[in-house]
Amino acid sequence: MNWKGKRVLITGAGGFIGSHLTGKIVDLGAKVKVFIRYNSRNDWGMIDVLSTEIKREIEVVAGDLKDSDAVRKAVKGMDMVFHLGALIGIPYSYVHPRDVIETNILGTLNILESSQEFCVEKIIHTSTSEVYGTAQYVPIDEKHPLQGQSPYSASKIGADKIVESFYRSYNLPVATIRPFNTYGPRQSARAIIPAIISQVLKEDKIFLGSLSPSRDFTYVDDMVNGFIKIAECKEAVGEVINIGSGFEISIGELAKKIIKIMGKKIKIVSDSERIRPIQSEVGRLLADVSKARKLLKWEPAISLEEGLQRTIEQIKKEKERYKTKIYNV
């Protein structure tokens, strides 16, 4: 696929994965427009940390995914849409379920309707492994039952199914990427790995939620490569594709590994404030990525140890932006 001159819209570009994807798509030669959530501070999120050269090449549009007019204007004239925009905090979804549901479901509907109207060549919709809930079997393939164990996961199930309906009903050329837990530089302390690293750097104890759940972690460069592979693969249209490492580790063991890499001795505390409701906590996630291997020829290239080391080095440089005394929801 020739990316040169391709007109690409990226929603959620101000976020962690979205900013990395933005840089990569610009490097490939595409004409990139990014859609970020409006704020009066003119704050572009993680777009602000990209190089001057990258920022010079992108068009920034601020708005709200729930605003169909704003989305329609952003999508008009695009060849391809990467839809990453969403409210992703699970604890936040306990507190404000309506905001999460409206943004994630209506926002996705607005993207789909606009893409249909303007005959977008391909849409890559971003799902999440949270839609699977606690694993009923492992490894988890794309046929695993979906379980709404939090308002966030339920909102993403709804969005995923609306995407499926637009493919089946209107033949809209949309593919769904289903990332398992992604980590790397620029991620906020809402996520577990930067939460651990930043606390180890700045505190004498680290406070976490449940230590027994296991997760499948993928370094952000590998995840971005998965997005690119899906965009380039014609056979991905109409499909849901897991992107993960195929390796699981418990939160407790992850914390011990990070502490060891950083050469510290520090106590791990399971904090009741951070523990999710029993029936909402996802106990185990482990990806079956055989479909990605077969269809996309995608493989993770960066080990957990290497990825953690890269992430630690970056967070060391910007540790002051992490509010370790506060539970980030």
3-state secondary structure 12-69: CCCCHHHHHHHHHHHHCCCEEEEEEECCCCCCCHHHHHCCHHHHHHEEEEEECCCCHH
* The predicted structure's pLDDT at residue 111: 98
Is the Cβ–Cβ distance between 167 and 240 less than 8 Å?
no
pLDDT in tens, 102-160: 999 999 999 999 999 999 999 999 999 999 999 999 999 999 999 999 999 999 999 99
| Token code pair at residue 42 | 């003119």
* The predicted structure's pLDDT at residue 108: 98
Q: How far is CA 128 from CA 76, 94, 132, 167, 176, in A?
A: 27, 17, 8, 19, 10
**Consecutive 10-residue runs of the chain (329 residues): their mean pLDDT?**
97 98 98 96 95 97 98 98 97 97 98 98 98 98 98 98 98 98 96 97 94 98 98 98 98 98 94 92 97 98 98 94 86
pLDDT in tens, 241-253: 999 999 999 999 9
Whole-number Å distance between alpha carbons of 152 and 86: 10
* The predicted structure's pLDDT at residue 177: 98
How many helices and strands, by DSSP H and E, does the chain display? 12, 13
In sequence order, the 6+-apart residues with CB closer than 8 A to the CB of 221 are: 20, 184, 301, 302
Domains of the chain by start residue, with CATH: 7-183+219-243 (3.40.50.720), 192-215+247-285+302-321 (3.90.25.10)
* The predicted structure's pLDDT at residue 85: 98
* The predicted structure's pLDDT at residue 326: 86
62, β-bridge pairs: 36
Residue 213 dihedral angles phi and psi, to the nearest 5°: -55, 145
